[in-house]
Amino acid sequence: MTTPPLPTYADVQAAARILDGVAHRTPVLRSRRLDALAGCEVHLKAEHLQRVGAFKFRGAFTALSAFDADQRRAGVLAWSSGNHAQAVALAARELGMPATIVMPHDAPELKVAATLGYGAEVVRYDRWTEDREAIGAALAAERGMTVVPPYDHPGVIAGQGTVVKELLEDVPDLDVVVTPLGGGGLLAGSLLSARAVAPRARVYGVEPAAGDDGRRSLEEGRIVTIGTPRTIADGAQTLHLGELTFPILRDGVTEVVTATDDQLVTAMRVAASVLKQVVEPTGVLGLAAVLSGAVPQTAGLRVGVVLSGGNVDLERFAALVTQGADGAEGVEQT
């Protein structure tokens, strides 16, 4: 299959027009206490307050909006551990098309229930022994459905780019931008916006320490594939960057850094206690890296951080913030 052209900032601008009045323009949160903890001026883009509870709705709706009449009749197929699943399911419902989502057996039940609630069919698989992309491709071919993967799609990347586009419109003089990194859709889109609007800003991606394929890929100059990482950040348990996201990251990102599960728990606690916000483990990757100092040289600077999602079961959330990553293992292993 031919790789499509890389998206540009013009595509992000087009996505913003598609999403106007459909996606929420999420707020930017501020806290003096958080600034003191981080040693810098932190501006948090609250995408955990987006529709479906995550930034993923932006990319999904943008991608599905480009379907022609035949594609809409046949429907969309996607694979996801949860947030892209919900996003595609809701976007498909809004646009009047069927959706089938391939989800792992150990996906958070909150995310599975929401995906079903939006009207999608869910096909389960074992993430440790089965290949979701192969399962999805076979189903799509059998049913004539169009695949919209969670990150390696020009429409998805363009839609995700509207997150940082809005952030830079609201806070135009940021010195640093930090986003979570899984497959790279959010970071790639963020780079398209940042390099066009705030070219002097440093841009960092943050991935789980247990799944640092992005960092390794940039170091080696090629896409590195890893085994499924064991981390509480279920939304970033990706195995590799995409054919589209990798070159955008390679040519634009300042650095990819990592956060441990313990640092994610600390960031969740800070978000809950200081900001009164419930954010899922993947959603605080950027905040964790700023608080831990993994993002370098931020003292006194204006730092924009994307809180990418808030879809976490309350029992799981309570166990993590009270018992830590190790103590919560028995509640749900993601």
- 64-82: pLDDT as tens digits: 999 999 999 999 999 987 8
**Residue 116 is inside which H or E element, if any?**
helix 109-117
pLDDT per residue over 114-157, tens digit each? 999 999 999 999 988 899 889 999 999 999 999 999 999 999 99
Q: For residues 133-156, b (16+ Cβ closer than 10 Å) or e, as one string?
A: eebbbebbeeeebbebbbbbbbbb
Question: Is the CATH code 3.10.290.10 the one for domain 57-147?
Answer: no
Candidates 29, 92, 101; CA nearest to 283 is 29
Strand partners, 202: 176
Query: What 3-state DSSP class applies to 311?
Result: coil
pLDDT per residue over 237-283, tens digit each? 899 999 999 999 999 999 999 999 999 999 999 999 999 999 999 99
Residue positions annotated with a catalytic role: 56, 81, 207, 211, 213, 308
Candidates 29, 35, 150, 135; CA nearest to 82 is 150
- Report the distance separating Cα 159 and Cα 69, nearest Å: 21
Architecture of domain 9-54+153-327: 3-Layer(aba) Sandwich (3.40)
Please give the single-letter amino acid code of residue 290.
V
- Alpha carbon separation from 73 to 64, 98, 146, 149, 265 (Å, rounded): 12, 8, 10, 19, 43
Residues of the chain with CATH 3.40.50.1100: 9-54+153-327, 57-147
